Amino acid sequence: MNDLHLIELDGAHGEGGGQILRSALTLSMITGQPFRISQIRARRSKPGLLRQHLTAVQAAQAISGATVEGADIGSQTLLFQPGPLRQGDYRFAIGTAGSCTLVLQTVLPALWYAAGESSVTVSGGTHNRTAPPADFLIDSWLPLMQKMGAKTELELLRHGFYPAGGGEIRAKVAPSRLQALTLTERGARLGVDATAVVAAVPGHVAQRELERISAKLGHLLRSSRINALPPSHGPGNVVMIRVEHEQITETFVGFGERGLSAEAVAEQAAGEAYAYLNSQAAVGEHLADQLALPIALAGAGRFTTSVVSEHLRTNLQVIEKFLPVETSISAVDQHGWLVEISA
């Protein structure tokens, strides 16, 4: 063990999911601080490391030359001792429909601190309901990272749906210095657009989804379209609503699955988009969680969000264990919250 203090984490704390592990891996690689986590994903129906979590651990190990104990499927305890960050061209295969995006979000911030340029290609699931889809990262998360100074590009090479997987995302990243972010207002609304994606799924499913979204959002909807992928990319279906403002673009998603009607899929996405449009907050629930760590790395920032999830609260607590920052959440009105991070 190196001279740095070993950070102890309880994986059952707060929301008790994989976010605790992923944030710890990212922050450990960047700060050099080792950690041990117990009760990994203890609150989930299948506790311990699943394939996507193990891939994230293996990716972090490769990028930082870490010494790792407990990196096995189903393991509920992990010891991670990072070494120096190493730029390079990396490829990681999850082997299931586990989330490519969550693996990428684990390692990309660390590579901002490497000495040179890198590329990372991850294969697996790009669109499943337990993680942000690739489009969310590209349209909503990435522009804010670039605004903060992150030199990163993302490309969706192939869709991968649950349960088959087979998708692929590629990232290019260069050393970056993050700037503080203040995001308390959206600016003027520029447009609301809906896309229904189908692969080896009847086209009428996509049409029904778009009709339901149009009925829900009415005049707010600027455009809608169907993206019919080759059958070899499926079976799969996802509907996405892109809400663009001057300062931010949010993405709301509904995932098709067996036994769920097209209307129910669309209603999920449209309901979230409608609630966001009728709030004053800049950031939606899921993006709020994903902004916390980069802002903390920058040393300061603040944003308003329409929902404070247990995910966000838990993530802030993990961040405070690794970084010399203070975080706070306060109500700003009946429709939103202000999240502040400061050194």
Catalytic one among 53, 127, 233, 311?
Answer: 311
Does 154 show up as a binding residue in the annotation? no
Distance (Å) of CA 167 to CA 98, 99, 132, 133, 229: 10, 10, 14, 11, 12
Three-class SS of residue 56?
A: helix
Reply yes or no on whether 311 is catalytic. Answer: yes
Spatial contact of 329 and 308, defined as CB atoms under 8 Å apart: yes
Phi–psi pair at 49, nearest 5 degrees:
-75, 125
Which is nearest to 151 in space by CA: 125, 121, 183, 178?
178
Spatial contact of 60 and 25, defined as CB atoms under 8 Å apart: yes
Does 290 show up as a binding residue in the annotation? yes
Three-class SS of residue 48?
A: coil
In this structure, what DSSP letter does residue 5 have? Answer: P
Distance (Å) of CA 203 to CA 49, 239, 258: 37, 13, 16
Does 289 show up as a binding residue in the annotation? yes
Does 105 show up as a binding residue in the annotation? yes
Does 156 show up as a binding residue in the annotation? no
Does 10 show up as a binding residue in the annotation? no
260's CB contacts (< 8 A; 6+ apart) are: none
Distance (Å) of CA 180 to CA 288, 296, 326: 15, 9, 14
265's CB contacts (< 8 A; 6+ apart) are: 209, 237, 239, 254, 255, 256, 257
218's CB contacts (< 8 A; 6+ apart) are: none
Indicate the residue type of 148. Answer: M
Spatial contact of 81 and 67, defined as CB atoms under 8 Å apart: yes
Which is nearest to 137 in space by CA: 238, 244, 249?
249
Q: Which residues carry a binding-site annotation?
A: 105, 286-290
Write out the binding residues for ATP.
105, 286-290
Catalytic residue numbers read 311
